[in-house]
A and B are shown apart, each in its own frame.
Chain A
């Protein structure tokens, strides 16, 4: 059997391959990535695109949460202030119902209640970064207007905004004033206005105090909305942090170079390369002609 007398092309192609391998290994170590073009691993490349997508979504959910947290915290602390003020209104109203009060005592109480009323209006018109928080979605105008006759009207709407803070997870970002302060039958402004009228006319003051109490109770129940919403977004923010970490881990599993492995690979491919060079330098140094001498 005649053998191939010129193995050099084969050896050169082997050398090309070992050098290619050395380059690939070096590149993976230098870039820290095993997938630099899609053909390196098409399935991983496609999953990396989805991973990047999900990471961007998670980042955006976190930013959205940060954006609404400020408003919610403001609203929540407003709730506390309103609670305090309404308690004060009930307490002065109860004082006013005491039969020993004379007209000027009641007038003093009326004045305080009028002050409370305008404080309430001001709280209910909470404006955060240019938009009125309790106006439903009509956030461009103050939702409560204190009329000349002392009554308060609501000019907001009863719409709410949903904000996406997770895949298929939306939180309601606002509670309209019409469900909070001026719900029909439990309107705090109306109750205080009625209390003022009762004190001024000295009729059924204790009945008016009861009306304020019941409006207060209703408000107190509704006001937990912001606290709950804050809890929900804070929990979600924690979840998003762990999701981001998990996505980063997945990304690294898909495409990051495993350094110890890569360095071992590089060493072995360099050895193979050296060996091939050695073989080429040793081969074909002699043939029969070298031994023919005359």
Chain B
């Protein structure tokens, strides 16, 4: 047999539950613009009924928990795409800087090589003319400094990427430490059976940030989670975070270490991955191409130069003219590495330029041979100009591809974020509707209490009347 007091308790449970539910809505509205916040929904459960044979009475409602609404699969997709996005972002910004070396049409390597051959061709029309000879030496100097400038710019860019790697590693360490700390708080709350929604949101937000920097795999375990890089280097395990370290190798390149082992080559995505690709692959590839061009060009010019006769009229003991022994360019290093950075003109005296093919001052045969190099396959099977245009294509193509992939990845990420927002985002319309709903239910429960109160009063008065 149910009592009025029992009904009062049921009505009170309604008041409490609706109040709690309203608190969830209030919190949702308050966090409508909080990044990474997942909307919370109250979980209302009917209390166990009391059976008084043959009747069964309900005993009201309990607000069991307030749950954050999130889709873990979507979140892991977002983290994946954020890694790609971070990698491409770093790559695009590095390559955009790189390609400025190949954008100009004045003072760039291609123009200076072309100017050099023009000066040689002009010399061939008047091979003994000292001012034309000087022009050839000046043009050769300009070729050398165009190579030097481009090579030095690339090296400087590697240097700033090196710094970027160090800074990024610092940020990664900070984030992993914070995540480990949150892991502790979350498992404490969850072990105590409490909702850790807000902390989980914060942790998700930090993992997103971490994903922008480096490749991250999330391994959830009981009440906590572990983070590793894609190839398994531990970053966070429960409340323990594992710091990464940078250390310069013999050539000054910052390598990344985790617990004593070099993991540089295993990092493939995130901003760090992008910087490493630019620093260790893309830029060195361009440097090698520049070195190949510089060495091929300088060697070919020197070979022709030492096959001709200069203006000095040097003769052997029989009175026959002697071929030049002076190089125009300082010979490039044997392994070609560094050829572009070190290219320089070895000749200062214009009369030493070998324009003659027969020893007379008026012969231009060797100047013509030098000029002919312009269209000869002297650099890796290509003419110097064609090889240079190939470099421009490669650099431009790498930058264009990275930019295109970045925009594609942005679209994917945007779509994933939309999806996350459609699952977890706070809708003010929805909250307004919920608020009305809770408000009305609260009012109804209150009304029930008033009614019970009236009934109690009636019961008490009834006793008085009969007494």
Contact = CB atoms under 8 A, between A and B. Distances in A.
A13 B126 contact: no
Given A4-B418, A53-B110, A53-B385, A159 B397 contact: no
Given A4-B418, A292-B432, A39 B99 contact: yes
B425 A289 contact: no
Contacts of A64: 121-122, 124-125
Given A137-B362, A138-B360, A5 B124 contact: no
Contacts of A139: 128, 360-362
Contacts of B99: 37-39
Given A4-B422, A5-B430, A52-B114, A42 B121 contact: no
A129 B125 CA distance: 12
B386 A287 contact: no
Nearest to B385: A53
A67 interface: yes
Nearest to B423: A2
B249 to A, nearest CB: 31
Interface in B118-164: 118, 121-122, 124-128
Contacts of B374: 57
B433 to A, nearest CB: 6
B111 interface: yes
A60 B117 contact: yes
A10 B432 contact: no
A157 B358 contact: yes
Interface in B350-407: 356, 358, 360-365, 368, 371-372, 374-375, 385-386, 388-390, 392-400, 403
B115 A56 contact: yes
B239 interface: no
A48 B102 CA distance: 12
Contacts of B103: 36-38
Given A67-B126, A161-B362, A38 B393 contact: yes
B306 interface: no
B428 A288 contact: yes
Interface string A87-98: 000000000000
Contacts of B422: 2-5
A44 to B, nearest CB: 9
Contact of B371 (A39, A50, A67, A164): A164
A292 B434 CA distance: 12
What does DSSP make chain B's interface, helix, strand, loop or mixed? Answer: helix
A162 B368 contact: yes
B461 interface: no
Contacts of B356: 137
B389 A5 contact: no
Interface string A264-288: 0000000000000000000000011
Interface residues of B, number: 67
Contacts of B74: none
Interface string A1-44: 01111110110010000000000000000000000111111110
Given A5-B430, A46-B396, A52 B360 contact: no
B215 to A, nearest CB: 24
A161 B364 contact: yes
A240 interface: no
B421 A287 contact: no
B100 interface: yes
A interface residue count range (under 10 / 10 to 19 / 20 to 34 / 35 or more): 35 or more
B417 interface: yes
Contacts of A140: 128, 360-362
A233 to B, nearest CB: 11
A198 to B, nearest CB: 37
B322 to A, nearest CB: 17
Contacts of B337: none
B96 interface: yes
A60 B414 CA distance: 54
A137 B365 CA distance: 10
B105 interface: yes
Nearest to B363: A137
A199 interface: no
A152 interface: no
B316 interface: no
Contacts of A45: 102, 392-393, 396
Nearest to A54: B385
A39 B103 CA distance: 9
B216 interface: no
A288 B25 CA distance: 14
A169 to B, nearest CB: 12
Contacts of A4: 418-419, 421-422, 425
B141 to A, nearest CB: 18
A46 B390 contact: yes
A61 B414 CA distance: 56
A162 B370 CA distance: 13
Most B Cβ at <10 Å: residue of A10, A56, A130, A138: A56
Interface in B423-455: 423, 425-433, 435-436
B362 A13 contact: no
A135 interface: yes
B410 interface: yes
Contacts of A53: 110, 114, 385, 389
Most B Cβ at <10 Å: residue of A37, A43, A61: A37
Given A56-B115, A60-B117, A163-B368, A5 B360 contact: no
Interface string B69-102: 0000000000000000000000000011001101
Contacts of A2: 422-423, 427
Given A10-B414, A140-B128, A161-B362, A39 B423 contact: no
B118 A60 contact: yes
7 contacts: A4-B425, A5-B425, A38-B396, A42-B397, A59-B118, A164-B371, A170-B368
Interface of A: 2-7, 9-10, 13, 36-43, 45-50, 52-53, 56-57, 59-61, 63-64, 67-68, 129-132, 135-140, 157, 159, 161-164, 167, 170, 173, 287-289, 292
